[in-house]
Structure 1
Amino acid sequence: PGVYEAQTRRDLLEAGISEAGILGGDLGTVLQAAILGKEGHAAMGERKAQRFAAFRELHPEARYIFLGDTGEADVDFATGCLMANEGGGPAAASNATGPPACTAVIHDVTDETGVYPKTPQHERAELLRRGVLVFDSYASAALRLHELGLLGAEGLREAAQGCHD
């Protein structure tokens, strides 16, 4: 919801990110997700997709990195984002000029025990085939973004150091 945008922008500035598009949600959708569970999460995913589609129309030349988690319809949104690339999937997601137009990186939350990842290996493999990168640690996400040319060596070093600290 918009109430968090100012704090998010301050956090981004502290991290050295001065320009970022924040597509905030709305309180009604968040409440719907809390009350309706899975149906509400689907509505949340649809709302994210609508906002992103409108934003992408304003900046069709841009490349996007979507960071999400396996908790609230982010995987559904991510696969939709990638389908907006030329046919979806990791190979089709690349433009002739470089990295994908839309890269989706999803943090896999753990199950209720806090020990095991929520997403089984076979689902991770299927998501990767479709171009969605599922990760357990931010260091592994940073490495993958570096491999795609979306994060420089210094950013990779800082991410690794941040995980160590």
Structure 2
Amino acid sequence: MSSPTLLASLLAGRTSRTEEQQVLALLRMASASALDRILLETDAAELIGSLDDRRFGPANRTAVRDLLVARIGDLSIQARANLAYGLQAGPTSRADAEAIRAVFLSCRGEDLTRLKNAMNMRTDSHDLEGLVYSDVGSPTIRAEILNHIAREAAGVEPGEAKVLCDIDDTVVCALHDRRYPRGTIYPGILALLDALDRGPDDEPFSMGDLTFVTARPGDAFGLIENHTRASLRRAGIAHHSVMTGTVQALFTCDLMAGRKIANIEHYHALFPEYRLLFIGDSGQADIRVGDTLWQRLEHALDIVFIHDVVHTSDAERARLRGERIHLVDTYVGAARIAHERGLIARAGLDRVVQESLSALAEIRWSSVEQERATRALFERDAALG
């Protein structure tokens, strides 16, 4: 029986003291390759959470945490990311936060970038931003992690950007846009996000460089965030993370913008080695977000796209373009600008055009006039190149 299989049998159901000791013995005796395989194939949250620190008796949870941290050099990048998740998923004590810090400090340079990307690729609410800014409760430990990230980012050049994208009226027609039936996934947006993720050569350093920044509120158990992720996966966006808002931030556009900006600044502190792209819409506060980002993060920002859903005048569009905020009617138009700026490959642009024209045929339009007017925008943008 393999080590992961034996471990799974020991962790099944409620774990007794004897079984906890057997788990510890198995981990102590495991070779470096076997231990790495265990951390790759076993749910680390279940592994750590199944062992207890008893008031009168052995502190087995502490023992397994200390053992894994002591042997962190035996673990691959993905296994280290899984270990951090195991410490993050349940209640995270100061000792757990110190162990999480050890995971970060165990990697340098490009390895640290790969570790952060692996941490951020989870399909639930336990992503990198939640780990550093929420689960690590100690400001001192958080600062030590962020300082290490900043130092190690200096020599890393991924050659691609992280994409920060709104959801409502940016990915899906939801609030202010009357050009499409409500609930429509905008033609071309999925192909554009994929092309931006793949970068200018269509050969990405990493996939999953997409994070959704939404005003939708989060909650203590991650239920809303997990629902958002599930909806995005159903729409065809598999690799992404989500940064949510608050109920209070929904009250005014200023509060919505402030929350998004704070989240994006957090994100930049976690990935300072990457350039940033922001995609939003003109319906609420995203123009304000884009303007503030140019003021605060000009050194890191490549471009701001705003999906125009409220028929902004040509004069206002020209003014905003002078402030490096590009309003677009279609994602074909956005893709053309992105290609001109060297942000996506020609093949990526072609995929956006093809997906957009195909998607238009699948929409159940509310009226002939709605379809005619929207198709005209795509035909105009498609004909430009």
**RMSD of equivalent CA atoms:** 2.1
Match of 1:81 in 2: 293
Deviations 1:134-156 (A, max 9, x none): 10111001111111111111211
C-alpha displacement at 1:105, in angstroms? 0.3
Q: Tell me the equivalent position of 1:120.
A: 313
SS of residue in 2 equivalent to 1:61: coil
Distance (whole Å) between structure 2 residues aligned to residue 8 and residue 147 of structure 1: 32
SS in structure 1 of the partner of residue 274 of structure 2:
coil
Q: Which has the higher helix share?
A: 2
> 2 CA distance for matches of 1:5 and 1:83?
30
1:42 aligned onto 2:254: yes
Matches within 5 A, 1:64-143: 64-86=276-298, 101-110=301-310, 117=311, 119-143=312-336
TM normalised by structure 2 equals 0.33
Give the counterpart of 1:164 among 352, 357, 365: 357
Specify which of 51, 54, 58 is matched with residue 266 of structure 2.
54
CA distances 1:6-53 after superposition (whole Å, capped 9, x unpaired):
2255157x34x63x44322233323x2xxxxxxx11110011111111
- Answer yes or no: is the 8 Å Cα contact 1:85–1:102 preserved in 2: no
The residue number in structure 1 matching 2:230 is 7
Gapped regions of structure 2 (runs ≥ 5): 1-215, 219-223, 359-385
Q: Taking every aligned residue pair, what percent have the same amino acid on both sides?
A: 27
Q: Deviation at 1:62?
A: 1.0
In the alignment, the residues of structure 1 paired with residue 228 and residue 296 of structure 2 have an alpha-carbon distance, to the nearest angstrom, of 26
Instruction: Classify the secondary structure of the residue corresponding to 2:317.
Output: helix
Tell me, which stretches of 5 or more residues in structure 1 are unaligned?
Answer: 33-39, 87-92, 94-99, 111-116
Q: Number of residue pairs matched?
A: 135
Between the aligned partners of 1:139 and 1:53, the Cα distance in structure 2 is: 28
The corresponding residue for 2:58 is: none
For the structure 1 residues 156 and 11, does the alpha-carbon distance in structure 2 shift closer, same or farther, using more than 3 Å as the test? Answer: farther
CA–CA distance in structure 2, aligned partners of residues 156 and 8 of structure 1: 25
Residue type at the aligned position of 2:260? K
When residues 75 and 8 of structure 1 are mapped into structure 2, their CA distance, relative to the original with a 3 A threshold, is: farther
User: 1:72 deviation in Å?
Assistant: 1.3
